[in-house]
Structure 1
Amino acid sequence: MKVRIAYIEEPPFDWTGDDGSVTGADIELAEVVLRAIGVTEIEYHPTSFDALLPGVQAGRWDMNVPIFVTAERAQHVAFSVPVWAIGDGFLVPAGNPKALTSYAAVAARGDARLGCVAAQVQIDSARSAGVRDDQIVVFKDQPDAVAALLAGQIDAYASTAIGNRVVAGAAAPVGAFSFSRNNDALVQAVNGKLREYLGSADHRERMAKYGFTRAEIDGVVAGGGAQS
């Protein structure tokens, strides 16, 4: 049984190593779950973020690495149970010279430029906080955005943040694997194993290697995952 997975270059979640191997927290989780349900071959497809959902819908691959779950996206694909809960954070130059600590802080400075990856939810979050479109610089992927930040072309890069915690009391958005709505058998098999595995000691140990803490895991295991 072979499963084709699409991924993007976004450490610590997914990336291509120097030796050409695919690795990352989401990749390791996918491998553990898929092997447990009897998958004998996993085929990886590198792609761009904005191609993930159209690609799985069109059958170019069978599942995507986890992305944020939204009501709009759920109209087009089937999501697995959530696998992590992570808030947004900024990557800024050393010293954070423009004091950009939130989307509101970006909106308050007309000269602030915020980098985001095309089609990711951070663009909508920024707009909702009052960031103007002419302040948002859109990139095709994380490496391009980070390179622009290092070159001084943007003042902050908004993405998911391991190590940047959600404001106390706020619920972090959740991420999940996504599939074609026509692939119910695979969805159900993956969900069954995820419900057994998420929150287990093995799961926590594997995710800790990539910087995940209880904060990112506990927010989803309360909904039905295993407890350590």
Structure 2
Amino acid sequence: MFKRILWASVTAAFLSGLAVSSAAAETTLERIKRDGIVQIGFANEKPYSFKQPDGSLAGVDYELARAAFAKLGVPKVEGVAVQFSALIPGLKAGYFDVIAAGLFIRPSRCAEIAFAEPHIQIADAITVRKGNPKNIHSYDDVLKNPDIKIGTQQGSASRKDFERLGIPESQLVVFQDFPEVSFALKSGRVDLTTSTIFAANEAVAADGGKTIERALPFTLPVFDGKPSINYLGFGFRKDDQELVTKFNDALRSLKGTPEYEAILAKYAVSATDIPSPEVKIADICKQ
């Protein structure tokens, strides 16, 4: 009798272990297809992924992700709003499955997460107080005037560019997220903020042009003999390479379709903002 009980216990433990092992081996792609739900991390920044007044999600990254995942048999996309600096840590910790937040592809980020092929390319813009009182039209102007303060957000890719340009830390004021940066500019705590052209236009439109404006013209910084262009990509965990490949295929199949063109037009993304197929993530990560 004792042997039969012992054998039953061992068998149950073995089968339980197999079940746990099987569950642990399930990939993110398998899970989201089984559940029909994928969670995206976003920083609530227009025009990428943001909450509307009614609580629903919108944005070019959100809608492209939704369309691509629908092609993968995942009909529902849920958003997890976090501060910008928490996007990569949150992804790595498993709080969500994908970053869909207009994330710049940088070699330092490539070392931490996997990126899909770039889906948008865009230049930087700077936003200043109305009338541009400190006459800022380039980063050279910033370097020439140590009193100029730049508002930036924690974890921003621009921090690396400032370092390369020789802009000292004493001229930087770091905030947790973009709304805080924008408020600091409007209140006069900082003299300029940097962002993509999309974000700068959104900020000026939201302000109604009352207190801030884009600094025009603006001379782009030059790195390695080329004007600085930012490439944006969806972020994934390093061990989700199969999901990255499938997502790339799905996004590629969307290009040129009426659905794809409608999403771009809705958020004022033009054909010139789409990277050439020759631009590859592997090359960007090496730069």
Q: TM-score, normalised by structure 1?
A: 0.89
Matches within 5 A, 1:8-47: 8-47=43-82
Structure 2 runs not aligned, ≥5 long? 1-35, 202-213, 281-287
Q: 1:88 aligns with which of 106, 124, 127?
A: 124
1:108–1:204 Cα change, 3 Å: farther
CA displacement at 1:201 relative to structure 2: 4.9
- Partner in structure 2 of residue 203 of structure 1: 260
1:172–1:201 Cα change, 3 Å: farther
- Partner in structure 1 of residue 192 of structure 2: 156
Q: What RMSD in Å do the two structures reach over aligned CA positions?
A: 2.1
Letter in structure 1 aligned against 2:186: L
Q: Which string of whole-angstrom CA distances, capped at 9 and with x for unpartnered residues, describes residues 10-61 of structure 1? A: 1111211111111111111111111121102222100011111111112111
Q: 2:95 aligns with which of 53, 57, 60?
A: 60
CA displacement at 1:127 relative to structure 2: 2.4
Cα pair 1:114 1:135 within 8 Å, conserved: yes
Letter in structure 2 aligned against 1:142: F
C-alpha distance in structure 2 between counterparts of 1:154 and 1:108, whole Å: 16
Given the alignment of the two structures, is residue 185 of structure 1 paired with residue 242 of structure 2, yes or no? yes
Q: TM-score, normalised by structure 2?
A: 0.72
Cα pair 2:88 2:113 within 8 Å, conserved: yes
Cα pair 2:126 2:195 within 8 Å, conserved: yes
Count of aligned pairs between the two proteins: 223
C-alpha distance in structure 2 between counterparts of 1:57 and 1:146, whole Å: 28
C-alpha distance in structure 2 between counterparts of 1:81 and 1:13, whole Å: 16
127-136 or 163-172, which deviates more: 163-172
Cα pair 1:118 1:140 within 8 Å, conserved: yes
Q: 1:176 aligns with which of 233, 242, 255?
A: 233
- Partner in structure 2 of residue 73 of structure 1: 109
Given the alignment of the two structures, is residue 126 of structure 1 paired with residue 162 of structure 2, yes or no? yes
Q: Which string of whole-angstrom CA distances, capped at 9 and with x for unpartnered residues, describes residues 176-206 of structure 1? A: 0011112223212111111222354542332
Larger radius of gyration: 2
1:205–1:171 Cα change, 3 Å: farther
C-alpha distance in structure 2 between counterparts of 1:104 and 1:205, whole Å: 39
C-alpha distance in structure 2 between counterparts of 1:21 and 1:185, whole Å: 29
Q: Which string of whole-angstrom CA distances, capped at 9 and with x for unpartnered residues, describes residues 109-147 of structure 1? A: 111110111111111112222221111111111111111
Residue 64 of structure 1 aligns to a residue in which SS?
strand
Cα pair 2:104 2:157 within 8 Å, conserved: yes
C-alpha distance in structure 1 between counterparts of 2:262 and 2:227, whole Å: 26
155-164 or 4-13, which deviates more: 155-164
Higher relative helix content: 2
C-alpha distance in structure 1 between counterparts of 2:270 and 2:179, whole Å: 24
